[in-house]
Amino acid sequence: MKRIISLALSLGFILAGLISCSKATAPKAGSAKAADMLSLLPVDSQGAVVVDVHRIMQIESVKKSIAENENKAKYDEFVQMTGIDPEQDIFFFVGAMTGPIEQKHQDGAGLVNLKYDRDKVLALVQKEGGQLSQDEYNGLTIYQTAAGEDKKPMSFVFLDESNILLGTAAAVRKVIDVNQKKADNIWKNEDMAPLLKGMNSAAMLWAGFAVPPEMMKEASSQNPMLGAFSDIRSVILAFDYSHGNLLAEITAMSPDPEKNKQMGDALNGFKVLGAGAAAQEPLFGELLNKIEISSTAAQVKIAANLPEELIKSLGEKMKPKKPETEPEEPDN
């Protein structure tokens, strides 16, 4: 009996080892969760964003906006050429900034979780972007566009039947390594992991960024009005939609309780200054009244509950006015 138990345990350990060494199963389109997508981002991510595209595309006002958009013909052409209907076939987008956040040409990668036809997508990219170079990495083909002026070339990979990976060459390789269990993911990042746990992952869009101390100090040194924000170490945000309202939350965190109080005071001061403009434009005043600013020893938060009609009215108000055409002079 002991031999049988010992053999069973040994076999179990062997199987566990084989499973842990195998490739990660990337999230499948239609059943993927936001957390599944997030776990594919590399450990050196300094910022991450998650977008529930499918939920956004189901909002009636979004559907109406697409249907009435002046570029609807191009939208329909895209659907026809690729076989991808964004309203039905795209589920999530996640993106990450890798390496120093303050560098001039930021490295980063994004993953699109969707149902797609590889050949059709590749044909469209080649038509729009021209000749593509190819490289092999860990059994996958990396396609790369030509470098633009003052920009890094863009790489993309058909990671599997449900996920397309795109970004700078270095970041794309890092995501492939994470997917194949050859590198740690974002949850092993000591700066990002606490932020991820504190995010509103039920929102349609949520994001978090670890802010280098020197970055904010430099920004505040160039603009005295930003002095209260010099000790920000991280920022998280979330945008959601419910019953005709856009819900927004932006939270900034500093290790200094006094700085968090100063940030709250400064933001409320900006809000008071905006009252002057609100007197001239009632819509702006209505917007200000929907914004709440609060602070604790650990953070300062901006929260807003914005009716969709208010956003629409402000958008119309901010549109540039068409120049009036002068009447033509009659011929003599």
Encode the chain (332 residues) as per-residue pLDDT tens digits.
334 334 333 434 333 333 333 344 568 888 888 888 899 999 999 999 999 999 999 999 899 989 999 999 999 999 999 999 999 999 999 999 987 666 667 789 999 999 999 999 999 988 887 778 999 999 999 999 876 665 678 899 999 999 999 999 999 999 999 999 999 999 999 989 988 888 888 999 999 999 888 888 888 788 877 888 889 999 999 999 999 999 999 999 999 999 999 999 999 988 888 877 777 788 888 888 899 999 999 999 999 999 999 888 888 877 776 665 555 565 55
Q: What is the pLDDT of residue 100?
A: 67
Helix (H/G/I), strand (E/B), else coil: 190: coil
Helix (H/G/I), strand (E/B), else coil: 163: strand
pLDDT tens for residues 146-188?
Answer: 766 656 788 999 999 999 999 999 999 999 999 999 999 999 9
Give the integer Cα–Cα distance in Å for 52 and 55.
Answer: 6
Structure tokens given for 129: 């972007």
Give the integer Cα–Cα distance in Å for 174 and 159.
Answer: 13
Q: How many CA atoms lie within 13 A of 126 on its CB side?
A: 11
Q: Which residues contact 313 (CB under 8 A, 6 or more apart)?
A: 283
The amino acid sitting at 279 is A
Q: What is the pLDDT of residue 282?
A: 84
User: What is the dihedral sign for C-alpha 257, 263, 264, 265?
Assistant: positive
Burial of 3 (0-12, 13-18, 19+ CB in 10 A): exposed
The amino acid sitting at 161 is E
Cα angle for residues 317, 320, 324 (degrees, 5° grid): 115
Q: Which long-range contacts (CB under 8 A, 24 or more apart) does 288-295 make?
A: 293/264, 293/267, 293/268, 294/264, 295/260, 295/261, 295/263, 295/264, 295/265
Place of tokens 């492939």: 176
The answer to whether the CB of 95 falls within 8 A of the CB of 45 is no
Give the integer Cα–Cα distance in Å for 205 and 247.
Answer: 10
Q: What is the pLDDT of residue 7?
A: 34
Give the integer Cα–Cα distance in Å for 32 and 159.
Answer: 15
**223 to each of 32, 112, 266, 303, how far by Cα in Å?**
44, 38, 14, 25
Q: What is the pLDDT of residue 311?
A: 87
Give the integer Cα–Cα distance in Å for 161 and 155.
Answer: 18
* pTM of this structure: 0.83
Q: What is the pLDDT of residue 163?
A: 95
Give the integer Cα–Cα distance in Å for 140 and 119.
Answer: 16
**252 to each of 41, 78, 260, 261, 322, how far by Cα in Å?**
23, 39, 8, 11, 39
- Order of strands, sheet of 107-114, starting from the edge strand that comes earlier in the sequence: 133-137, 140-144, 155-160, 163-167, 107-114, 90-98, 45-52, 205-210, 234-242, 245-253, 299-307, 291-295
Q: Which residues contact 323 (CB under 8 A, 6 or more apart)?
A: none
DSSP 156: E
Neighbours of 286 (CB within 10 A): 15
Neighbours of 216 (CB within 10 A): 19
